[in-house]
Structure 1
């Protein structure tokens, strides 16, 4: 839903700020079955670029909550509620995820769901 990408034909992305937004796949998921989750969900905030700031957002009823792939990214004070994959996924170096709330994971498929999942890319270690 909120998607910034720093490669391909999109061009470079850096110094992006997403603040005080409400992001959702649906306002109400009451009665959703596993099949509804698979058919209706979207990802919340996905940033592929450097020097991004994601602050005080509410992300609900999504597949992935917040994905941040790049260097020098901060995600502070966000709320991810009702997700079916990973609540947050920081990928890169010099990343700070702090004071976020992540709750209510829905296990609807064979995906390995996590509140926060992070790993190195291209074998580069984490620096922070």
Structure 2
């Protein structure tokens, strides 16, 4: 088993575990115990250092777990969207894998679709605007 697979499994397990109410409750109890212990340790610098160090380490590690989880979720969603584009007859397969294009090319695509949307909106008969049409007619016009 390679390190990437091992990390992914650990990250998934950690994300599932830390995202549950029990994890939040345990973290709350740790903070409460730290607060209650303040008078015992006379609110010393060491007492403060313990919570600061603990929260910094946990935050540092959680950043990597969250990034891993979001990256996997984004990739999976992108694959699903690509599949929907691929199987839709009127969709353009040129839109598959857009996330891999450079910024300038993405900007050109975005400008094209923004112009298309503006044009479509000006041509559509919006219900309630005086020229009534059915929702289906409006939807058809908006998707042309």
Please, what TM-score do these two structures have when normalized by structure 2? 0.19
Please, what TM-score do these two structures have when normalized by structure 1? 0.21
Looking at CA atoms only, which structure, 1 or 2, has the larger radius of gyration? 2
Structure in which a larger fraction of residues adopt strand: 1
Structure in which a larger fraction of residues adopt helix: 2
